[in-house]
Amino acid sequence: MNNILQKIDSLCEQKGWSKYKLAERSGLTLSTMNAWYKNDYTPKIESLERMCGAFGITLSQFFADEDESFSLTENQRRLVKQSVRLSGEQLEAVIHLLEKMNEQL
């Protein structure tokens, strides 16, 4: 399996999503996604953009190594900007809330 498909699998696993859930959230068809895996195809950039949108990340974040810098989406920038003003305790509460919300996805 190619690295892009492995990355998609990893992101699905992090979210607790099946490929069906990703297809549903990205607007792609499950049959298209299954064909990528069956034939070891690399999705087109348009499809990757749709999946990144579903994951809530940018294409640069998708392709970045863990230790590389990358650009944030507008909502991520807003979140970071607002979090700077919080106390340590408030920030922990927000992080805890986000973790609980992600568990339910």
Range(s) of the domain holding residue 8 = 1-70
What are the pLDDT digits (tens) for 23-78?
Answer: 999 999 999 999 999 999 999 999 999 999 999 888 888 988 766 656 778 888 88
Phi and psi at residue 65, to the nearest 5°: -70, 160
CA 39: distance to chain centroid? Answer: 23
Helix count (H) and strand count (E) of the chain? 7, 0
Q: Is the confidence at residue 79, as pLDDT, over 90? A: no
Q: Does an H or E element contain 14, and which?
A: helix 3-15
The pTM for the full model equals 0.65
Which residue reads 């690295």 in tokens?
3
Over residues 70-90, mean pLDDT: 82
Over residues 1-12, mean pLDDT: 91
Whether residues 20 and 9 fall in one domain: yes
The pLDDT, as a whole number, for residue 11 is 93
Q: What is the CATH number of the domain that holds 10?
A: 1.10.260.40
Higher pLDDT, 73 or 94: 94
The pLDDT, as a whole number, for residue 71 is 72
Q: Lowest-confidence range among 5-14, 33-42, 79-88, 93-102?
A: 79-88
The total number of structural domains that make up the chain: 2
Q: Which two three-digit tokens encode residue 27?
A: 């607007």
Q: 94: buried, middle or exposed (CB in 10 Å: 19+, 13-18, 0-12)? A: middle
The pLDDT, as a whole number, for residue 70 is 64
Whether residues 45 and 89 fall in one domain: no
